[in-house]
C-alpha cells in the first residue's frame, strides 16, 4: 500500500510548511529570505536545500516500510544514507516542555543530563550508501513490528547533505496506518557543515541528532555547509518562538580567506545580539573546532582551499577573536570550545570528523552544558 505525499496519514517534521498538493514534496528548512541572503554564495545556497534533520512520520503495524525518493542529488563523495527510527507502542517522542519528557533548565547554570537517556523501545535502522542511486531511490526498512501488535511510531530521516524529494511511503498491505502529532521543537541548532552533519552517512549519527535523543529535546537542524556568520539566514528562526536552547556553531568559514577574518568579530556581535533579543532560555556559542592543519597535519586542501599551517593559524585567530568579542555578552551568552577530538586521525578530509568524531563532540558538549 503506497501512501502518496498528500495522504493525511503521513506527518512531516520540517521547519517549513510542506505543500502536499505536489506529487513529490521537498522538506524545506529555510524560507526564501534565507536564500536571498546568500544568493551569491554557491556552496551555502545549495546546502540550504538539504533536508537535514527532517523526517516523514507515521504510526503503523507494518513489518516493513519503504521510503521512496526522487530528485536525489549528492553534494559530497563520502557515504550518504537515510535512517528509520521505530518507537515502541505506548511511547511518544518529543513532549519536551510539556512536563512529559524531561523539562529543560530555565537557568543558564542548570545542567543538562550528561549521560545517554534514550526513550525505551527506540530502535534505529540505517540504509546502505545511496550515492550509487541517482535521481530516484526506494529504501526499505524492516521495522521489527509483529503483525497484530499495537502500531508503533515510525520516523524516516532524510539525508543530511544530499537533496531529494519524497514521493511516498509504502507499507505492507492491510497495515494499520495513522498520522502522528509532530514533536514541538525546543532546540534551535544553528551552524555550518559540522552542525549539518558533513561526512556522516546515517542521519542519526550527527551530533545534533545524538543530543536530541539524549536530551529528548526535538530540534531544528539549521546547519548550512559553507556559510559564514550570516544573521539574515537565521533571524526568521530566532524570532519564530522562544527556544529552550539555541546553539550557534558559526565562524569556521571565516578562516579560509584573510579578508573574512577581519569581519568575524562584528558579524558575531550582530548574531549574538539577535539571539539574545529573543528571550530564549539558554543561548550557547560553540567555537570553531580543532582542525588538523593547525598542526600542519592532514590533507593539503579541501575543495580547492589550502589546508596548510597558514590556514591553521587563521583558524586559531578566528577562534580567539570570537572568544574575545563574545565575552562581553556573558553570562547571558555562554561560550564553549574544545569539543571535537584533537587527533588528525578523526578527520579524513581535514575538516570534518568520522561519525565517531561526532559522537565525541556530542559527549563533550553534553558535559560542557552539564557543568561537569
Q: What is the CATH number of the domain that holds 299?
A: 3.40.50.1110
Q: Span 221-244, mean pLDDT?
A: 97
CB 292 within 8 A of CB 345: no
State the pLDDT at residue 41. 83
Mean residue pLDDT of the chain comes to 91
Please give the residue range of the domain that contains residue 287.
187-370
pLDDT in tens, 163-198: 999 999 999 999 999 999 999 999 999 999 999 999
pLDDT in tens, 54-67: 999 999 999 999 99
| Least confident residue range of 238-247, 261-270, 298-307 | 298-307
CA dist 264 and 127 (Å) reads 39
CA dist 96 and 251 (Å) reads 30
Question: Does one domain contain both 85 and 199?
Answer: no
* C-beta neighbour count of 235 within 10 angstroms: 19
Confidence of residue 124 (pLDDT cuts 50, 70, 90): very high
Q: Give every CB contact of residue 107 below 8 A, 6+ residues apart in sequence.
A: none
CB 187 within 8 A of CB 212: yes
Q: CA gyration radius for the chain?
A: 20
Question: Does one domain contain both 242 and 275?
Answer: yes
CA dist 302 and 318 (Å) reads 19
Residue 121 scores a pLDDT above 80:
no
CA dist 68 and 369 (Å) reads 38
- Residue 179 to residues 59, 167, 185: CA-CA distances in angstroms? 6, 17, 18
State the pLDDT at residue 106. 35
Does the pTM exceed 0.85? yes
Backbone angles phi, psi at 118, to 5 degrees: -75, 150
% of the chain with per-residue pLDDT over 70: 91
CATH of the domain at 85: 2.60.120.260
Question: Does one domain contain both 281 and 302?
Answer: yes
Question: Does one domain contain both 148 and 252?
Answer: no
Q: Span 31-53, mean pLDDT?
A: 91
Q: Which residues pair with 168 in a beta bridge?
A: 68
Question: Does one domain contain both 347 and 211?
Answer: yes
State the pLDDT at residue 339. 98
pLDDT in tens, 132-144: 888 899 999 999 9
102 vs 17: which has the higher pLDDT:
17
CB 153 within 8 A of CB 95: no
Amino acid at each position: 500500500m503506497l501512501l502518496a505525499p498528500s495522504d493525511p496519514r503521513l506527518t512531516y517534521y520540517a521547519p517549513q510548511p510542506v505543500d502536499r498538493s505536489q506529487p513529490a514534496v521537498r522538506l524545506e528548512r529555510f524560507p526564501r529570505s534565507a536564500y536571498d541572503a546568500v544568493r551569491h554564495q554557491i556552496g551555502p545556497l545549495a546546502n540550504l536545500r538539504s533536508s537535514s534533520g527532517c523526517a516523514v512520520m507515521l504510526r503503523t503495524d507494518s513489518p516493513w516500510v519503504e521510503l521512496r525518493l526522487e530528485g536525489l542529488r549528492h553534494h559530497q563523495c563520502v557515504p550518504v544514507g537515510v535512517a528509520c527510527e521505530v518507537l515502541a507502542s505506548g511511547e511518544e517522542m518529543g513532549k519536551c516542555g510539556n512536563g512529559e519528557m524531561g523539562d529543560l533548565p530555565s537557568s543558564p547554570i542548570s545542567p543538562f543530563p550528561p549521560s545517554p537517556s534514550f526513550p525505551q523501545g527506540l530502535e534505529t535502522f540505517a540504509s546502505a550508501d545511496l550515492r550509487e542511486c541517482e535521481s530516484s531511490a526506494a529504501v526499505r526498512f524492516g521495522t521489527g513490528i509483529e503483525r497484530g501488535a499495537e502500531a508503533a511510531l515510525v520516523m524516516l530521516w532524510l539525508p543530511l547533505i544530499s537533496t531529494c524529494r519524497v514521493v511516498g511511503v509504502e507499507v505492507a498491505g492491510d497495515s494499520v496506518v495513522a498520522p502522528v502529532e509532530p514533536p514541538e521543537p525546543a532546540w534551535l541548532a544553528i551552524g555550518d557543515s559540522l552542525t549539518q552533519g558533513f561526512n556522516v552517512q546515517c542521519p542519526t549519527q550527527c551530533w545534533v541528532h545524538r543530543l536530541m535523543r539524549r536530551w529528548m529535546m526535538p530540534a531544528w537542524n539549521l546547519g548550512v555547509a559553507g556559510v559564514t556568520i550570516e544573521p539574515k539566514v537565521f533571524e526568521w528562526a530566532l524570532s519564530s518562538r522562544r527556544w529552550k536552547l539555541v546553539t550557534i556553531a558559526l565562524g569556521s568559514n571565516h578562516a579560509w580567506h584573510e579578508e573574512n577574518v577581519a569581519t568575524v568579530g562584528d558579524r558575531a556581535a550582530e548574531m549574538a545580539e539577535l539571539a539574545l533579543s529573543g528571550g530564549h532560555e539558554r543561548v550557547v556559542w560553540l567555537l570553531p573546532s580543532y582542525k588538523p592543519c593547525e598542526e600542519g597535519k592532514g590533507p593539503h586542501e579541501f575543495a580547492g582551499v589550502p589546508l596548510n599551517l597558514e590556514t591553521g593559524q587563521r583558524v586559531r585567530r578566528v577562534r580567539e577573536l570570537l572568544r574575545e568579542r563574545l565575552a562581553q555578552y556573558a553570562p547571558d551568552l555562554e561560550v564553549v570550545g574544545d569539543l571535537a577530538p584533537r587527533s588528525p586521525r578523526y578527520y579524513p578530509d581535514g575538516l570534518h570528523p568520522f561519525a565517531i568524531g561526532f559522537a565525541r563532540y556530542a559527549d563533550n558538549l553534553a558535559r560542557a552544558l552539564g557543568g561537569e
